[in-house]
Amino acid sequence: MTDRLIEDARIVSATGVRAGSIAIDDGQIRAVGPNVASEYGDATDVIDAAGKIALPGIVDIHNHMHDQNLFPDGIDFASQTASAAAGGVTTVVELPTQSPITSPDAFRKKRDECAELAHIDFGLVAGNVEEADIDVEAIMAEGTRDFKTFTAEPYLASDETIVSLMEAVGNAGGKVRVHCETQGILDHARASIDETTPDVYMESRPLEAELDAINRMGWFAEYAGCPLHVVHVSSGSGAREGGRFKSRSNVPVTLETCPHYLAFSTEDVEEKGPFLKVNPSLKSPAEVDRLWDAVRDGTIDLIASEHFPTYREDRERGWENIWEPYAGLPSIETMLEFLVSAGVHEDRLSWTRLHELVCSRPAREAGIYPRKGSLQEGTDADIVLVREDQFTVSADDLQYVGGWTPYEGREWSARVDTVIANGDVIASDHEVRSSPGRGEFLSRP
C-alpha cells in the first residue's frame, strides 16, 4: 500500500501543465501521471487536489536565516525555516550574514547548529570573503560549492581579493556569488545626503553602482576562469548588463533577482518607508518593468527570496532615521504567492517559466537536481499545492515571527494550500506541522 496519494492535481513540469495524480511512498515520488489514481487509490492518505496546481517544492538559494551574533531572540533557523515551509519552500541554501563562514571549523559549526533547528532540507554558502587567504578546497570538502563576496561595504573585498578568490574557486570547481554595487559610487552619493528620511536611502545607492559592479565582475570572472552568480539584480538595466556576459563569456554566468525588485519601486517608498529598505535599493518603475521583461525572456535565470528577518519595532525606527535599521526584507513565505498572483495570473509568466525560476533552475545551480526541484519518479517527494484564492495580505496570517510584511494590504489571487517535504505534510494554509530538526543538510561538494 502506498503512503500518500495526491489526486486530480494540475501538475506543472518543464514541458507544461497536465492533469494527473502523484503517488508517494517512503518519502519519494513513486509515480506521476493521469492514471496513477486508479493504480494507487488504496493509499493510506489521499489528498484531494482537484483544481489545485502541483509544483515541486520551492528551492530558495539565497536567504539569511541564522546568525547568533546578529539576529535577536526568536529569529533563528527554526523560526525562519518554519516560515519558509509555510510558504511552500522545501529546500533552502542559506548565506552568511554578519558572522563569517570562511574556515572549515566555522562551516561545520554552523552546519551542526542549523541541523538541530531545520524544518526543511538545507545547504550552506561560505562567506563573506573579505580576504583571499582561505582554504577553498577544505571548505568545499565540508559540503559547499559556493562562496559569497562583496564589492561594497560592510563586507567589501578588494579587486585583487575577488580575482584571487575567483581563481581559487574556479580551479576547485566551485562558483563565486557577488553582491554587485561599486563602493566608490555609493560613497560619492552618500556624501551629498544629510537628510534621514526614508526617501533619501534610494538616492544613496544609485543604479550606476550596480551596473558598474556587474560589468566588472563579469570581466573578473572571465579573467579568472570562474563561474559567476550575480545575486539580487535589482534592475532591468542590471539584467541587461549581466546578459552581455551570459552570451559571450567563457565561464557560466547566472543572474538572480528577488520578489521585492519586481513588486516595488521608488514610488512605493513614501507609503512604506523603512519597510522597503533593502540593498541594492529599489529602482524606478521603468526599471521594474524592464526587470519583468528580463525575467520573462530568460535573461534572469532564477528568483530567490533574499529573505532577511527583522522585528517590526526595529524597522519602525527608520521613519525618523532611515540609516538606523538593517537593510533587508522578509520574503520567503510570500514569494510563491506573489509570483503566482503578480506573475502567472497577470500573464507575465507561464507556469512552466515559474517552475524553471523557483524550482528546477535553482536546484540545478545548487547541485541538487533532480533530487530537488522536480517531480520525477524516484526523487524526493517535495511538493507544494497552490489554490486560486482572492485575499488581502496580512502579517497576522503568516508564520513569520517578525510581525510585518512589505506586502501588507496587497490583493493576491493565489494561496499556498498544502506543503509536502520528503513525503510528509509539513504545512497547510500557513500552519506548520513539522518540528525543528526534521530537515537534513545537503552536501554540495
For residues 81 and 37, the answer to whether their CB atoms sit within 8 Å is no
Whole-model pTM? 0.98
Which segments of 225-284 does DSSP mark as H helices, in order? 236-248, 259-263, 269-272
- Tell me how far apart the alpha carbons of residues 324 and 345 are, in angstroms, rounded to a whole number: 37
Residue-level pLDDT at 1: 76
**Which run of H or of E encompasses 166?**
helix 159-172
**Which run of H or of E encompasses 56?**
strand 53-56
For residues 305 and 62, the answer to whether their CB atoms sit within 8 Å is yes
Q: Which of 414, 422, 419 is nearest to 385 (CA)?
A: 419
Residue-level pLDDT at 247: 82
Does 422 sit behind a cis peptide bond, omega within 30 degrees of 0 on the bond before it? Answer: no
- Tell me how far apart the alpha carbons of residues 293 and 180 are, in angstroms, rounded to a whole number: 21
- Tell me how far apart the alpha carbons of residues 367 and 49 are, in angstroms, rounded to a whole number: 30
Residues 6+ apart with CB under 8 A from 300: 233, 239, 255, 256, 257, 291, 294, 357
Give the position of cell 544609485.
206
Residue-level pLDDT at 370: 98
- Tell me how far apart the alpha carbons of residues 87 and 332 are, in angstroms, rounded to a whole number: 7
Q: Which of 120, 122, 123 is nearest to 425 (CA)?
A: 120
- State the DSSP code for 67: -
- pLDDT by residue, tens only, the chain of 445 residues: 799 999 999 999 999 999 999 999 999 999 999 999 999 989 999 999 999 999 999 999 999 999 999 999 999 999 999 999 999 999 999 999 999 999 999 999 999 999 999 999 999 999 999 999 999 999 999 999 999 999 999 999 999 999 999 999 999 999 999 999 999 999 999 999 999 999 999 999 999 999 999 999 999 999 999 999 999 999 999 999 999 998 877 899 999 999 999 999 999 999 999 999 999 999 999 999 999 999 999 999 999 999 999 999 999 999 999 999 999 999 999 999 999 999 999 999 999 999 999 999 999 999 999 999 999 999 999 999 999 999 999 999 999 999 999 999 999 999 999 999 999 999 999 999 999 999 999 999 7
Which conformational region is residue 276 in: left (phi greater than 0), alpha (psi within -120 to 50 degrees), or beta? alpha
For residues 80 and 307, the answer to whether their CB atoms sit within 8 Å is yes
Residues 6+ apart with CB under 8 A from 81: 65, 92, 117, 118, 119, 120, 122, 436, 439
Residue-level pLDDT at 249: 73
Residues 6+ apart with CB under 8 A from 310: 75, 325, 326, 328, 330, 402
